[in-house]
Amino acid sequence: MSWLKPKKRWRHLFKRSTHINVSQTKRSQSSVTMPHHVAIIMDGNGRWAKDQGYPRFKGHQVGMDNVKRIVKVANREGVKILTIYAFSTENWKRPKAEVDFLMKLPTQFLNVYLPELIEENVRVMTMGHFEQLPEHTKKAMRAAVDRTKDNNGLILNIALNYGSRFEITEAVKAIAEEVSKGDLSPECISEQTISQHLYTHELPDPDLLIRTSGEVRLSNFLLWQLAYSEFWFSPVHWPAFDEEEFLKALHAYACRKRRFGGLNEKEEE
């Protein structure tokens, strides 16, 4: 099935979404359903930089700074968990100079913003395959997790060197090992068993997925966890995805009816 024709429909939806009254949205957030867990695919750093006449590195730098702004808005609006897709297992295929720069960003982000995150009671969590990461990146992540472990505000969950297929494969391997040792019976394996072996076993599944830059795909992100999540695709590149755009996504979520495969009461009548 081709995605070319559906994309035209998505563009139409994007165009319509820009007419939301954001001032009204800001006033109404406290009285509407708020997603507990929001996941974001932060896409479009390079395209934003190209549009602005900057090198790609500039886009990544501005995109990093935007994380803090969105964290602040999410915290204020009552979102409890914010999971961000910072670096995928496929991103290693990019030019070495770009990868090296991207590996420095988590360290820079935490060095600059960790004091603010601590002050705002944000707890940092991480997930991904960390063995491949440079030591300075791992050190910065460990320090952030340790220094914020007692905070009980918004959880900022950073997916770094993350790939959902790898995550699921590792979960299956771990379950198979438990079975081979006799610690687990195959008949007892359930969806919950798999969920408990994923990186996100401490967290509820996302209620809302946001992807920026107009792309309409999951890109190997939280494939298991997003089974019943609501999706919001924004045409705005991540560095330009500001408070107004984030509130549009929250407003759109609040207007939807989640059925989880069932029917609501009115539909049953």
Q: Which of 66, 75, 91, 121 is catalytic?
A: 91
Annotated binding site for Mg(2+): 43, 230
> Is 161 one of the catalytic residues?
no
Residue 207 appears among annotated catalytic residues:
no
What residues contact 68, with CB distance under 8 A and at least 6 apart?
Answer: 109, 113, 116
Closest Cα partner for 107 from 139, 85, 131? 139
Kindly give the pairing relationship between strand 37-41 and strand 230-233. Answer: unpaired
Rounded (10°) CA dihedral 224, 70, 54, 211: 30
Radius of gyration of the chain, Cα coordinates, nearest whole angstrom: 19
What value, to the nearest 5°, has the Cα angle with vertex 36 and ends 82 and 194?
80
Q: Which of 43, 66, 75, 157 is catalytic?
A: 43
The candidate with the shortest Cα–Cα distance to 215, out of 246, 242, 237, 230, is 237
Measure the CA–CA gap between 171 and 237, rounded to whole angstroms: 33
Concatenated DSSP letters for 247-260? Answer: HHHHHHHHTS---T
Q: Mark the binding-site residues for substrate, compressed into ranges.
A: 44-48, 56, 60, 88-90, 92, 94, 211, 217-219
Here the tokens at position 40 are: 């974001």
The type of residue at 172 is V
Binding residues: 43-48, 56, 60, 88-90, 92, 94, 211, 217-219, 230
* Cα separation of the two ends of the chain: 36
Structural tokens at position 173: 């391997």
Local structure of 261: helix, strand or coil: coil
Q: Which residues are catalytic?
A: 43, 91
